[in-house]
Structure 1
Amino acid sequence: MLESNGGTRPPSPLPGSVPLASRGLLTAVVAAFAAAALSDLFAVYTGVRLRMLADDDTTDPTASSLDSAYSLYERAGQVQVSTTLLCAVLFVTWFFLMRRRTGLLAPDRFGMGQGWAIGAWFIPIANLWLPYRVAVDMWGACSPLSAEGETRRVPMWPVNLWWGLFAGNALLGRYAASRLDTADSLTEISDAVTLYLAVDLLYVAAAGAAVLFAVRLTALQRLKATEGPYWTPPGS
């Protein structure tokens, strides 16, 4: 699945010869992440409600009120799972198609074949790093060239922000899940829910960062595919 970079830079594609990234699919990705963010905020609300009942020292919460609050919290989690699966399907589809289109712009910039844009997400542990490498290569492939043919680096903070939030929150989410699964007292449930509140809030931030990354990369791909590989300084 590895692609050879070769010893020389391949010919640059002519403007208009590379398919443009789909704005329709991008819109669907953005909408899915918006739905996921709303479900995360709903989970935060139900988590705060459950935690307040569990920690309330002024009244003695009944078993039925706690069961009701916990049931609502679990339903919020089910909604999160559904929206997360939708995001995963749409985003990985967009990610693969973007890898294919950016590969046409600068095939020498990639160390892994197109299949890794999908496969990298499903390798345990390695999926905390490999998709980021594909994203970095795509970002570099969309970076314009100077008149001398050297790559003009586009700031990579959208890539780093998205992946830092995503990977870090994935690890924190696994830890919070293990804490909640083993909780057998109100105090332990309260502590686990507090962790999940942080996870859910960070997922909202990660969703926003993913949207920013997708929109910026799509814009870069469309610009380079439309105007050609070379960057023209403003006013020249």
Structure 2
Amino acid sequence: MSAAPAGPPAPTPFLTSSPSPSPYAAPGGQGDRLRAPVGLAIALAVLFSLVIGITAYAVYADWNMRTLMERLLADPATVTDAELDRGQRLTGLVGTIQGNALIVTGIVFIVWFHRVRTNAEVFAPGADKLSLGWAIGAWFVPFANLWLPYRIAVTTWGSSTPLGADGGYRRFPLTLVNLWWGVFVLSRVLGWFGGMSYGRAQSPDAARDAATTMLVGDALDIVAAILAVLFVRRLTAMQHARAAQGPAAAAV
């Protein structure tokens, strides 16, 4: 998603090993305040992969429930009580597992998010007027959490951009950030609305519509998880490259 670098080749990618000293341990100056987000990024890649697998099964559960409701509306005699019971239990079980996986992944993501925001403050002091604590708190403020984390992500992205050979910033468009956040918010809204509608459904057609909404929300959850992995990898790699440029670059 980035433009071609303006200078020499970027440092070793963040997911590969290198015998050289860690760029986050630059002696003296600003570099010794940086903390590597690499381990958290790797953990998130694993967790998001798990979430994608669980959510794929949730899509199946949603489709199964939608199909049952369609059959029930077309001909109630073709649907047995056992099928309905299995469908409801499957939807409930997958929803519980999915929710727990999202909570664990969300906690690790927020820890990573706070770390890269802290590093960004070293790279560009004062670029974000919000305090470092907002990298955590912004996720828990109703309604504001639909915008504030994105604002912090954009500022952190800009502050973490590595410098080119001429001392100017290399270009890393915000396309990935925008796509990730847009799909994430839409999937969360649809998931919340679908779950609420399913819990209140009193008729087969209402349950069918709720299952359809949940299905779309879960499908978007998979897309959002893939985009989140790409976002985490890209921003971590940017900070790794910026840190490798030394305290002088960090102080720019």
Are 2:120 and 2:159, in contact at CA under 8 Å, matched by a contact in 1? yes
The corresponding residue for 1:66 is 84
Q: Secondary structure at the match of 1:111?
A: coil
Are 1:18 and 1:225, in contact at CA under 8 Å, matched by a contact in 2? no
Give me the TM-score of the superposition, normalised by structure 1. 0.85
Are 2:162 and 2:239, in contact at CA under 8 Å, matched by a contact in 1? no
Q: For 1:83-123, what per-residue CA distance to the aligned partner results, in whole angstroms no more than 9, with x for missing partners?
A: 10011110001101111112111113211111000010010
Are 1:16 and 1:226, in contact at CA under 8 Å, matched by a contact in 2? no
Q: Secondary structure at the match of 1:109?
A: coil
The corresponding residue for 2:44 is 29
| 1:106 is aligned to 2:124 | yes
**Selected match of 1:202 from 192, 196, 220:** 220
The corresponding residue for 1:233 is none
Moved more, 54-63 or 83-92: 54-63
Are 2:35 and 2:115, in contact at CA under 8 Å, matched by a contact in 1? no
Q: Secondary structure at the match of 1:199?
A: helix
Cα distance, 1:22 vs. partner?
2.9
Moved more, 66-75 or 17-26: 17-26
The corresponding residue for 2:149 is 131
Moved more, 147-156 or 84-93: 147-156
Q: State the Cα RMSD in Å.
A: 2.1
| 1:192 is aligned to 2:210 | yes
The corresponding residue for 2:233 is 215
Gaps of at least 5 residues in structure 1 are 1-12, 231-236
* CA–CA separation in structure 2 for the residues paired with 1:146 and 1:24: 26
Give me the TM-score of the superposition, normalised by structure 2. 0.80
- The AA in structure 2 aligned to 1:160 is N
Are 1:145 and 1:152, in contact at CA under 8 Å, matched by a contact in 2? yes
Gaps of at least 5 residues in structure 2 are 1-27
| 1:48 is aligned to 2:76 | no
The corresponding residue for 1:180 is 198
The corresponding residue for 1:224 is 242
* CA–CA separation in structure 2 for the residues paired with 1:144 and 1:47: 44
Cα distance, 1:40 vs. partner?
0.7
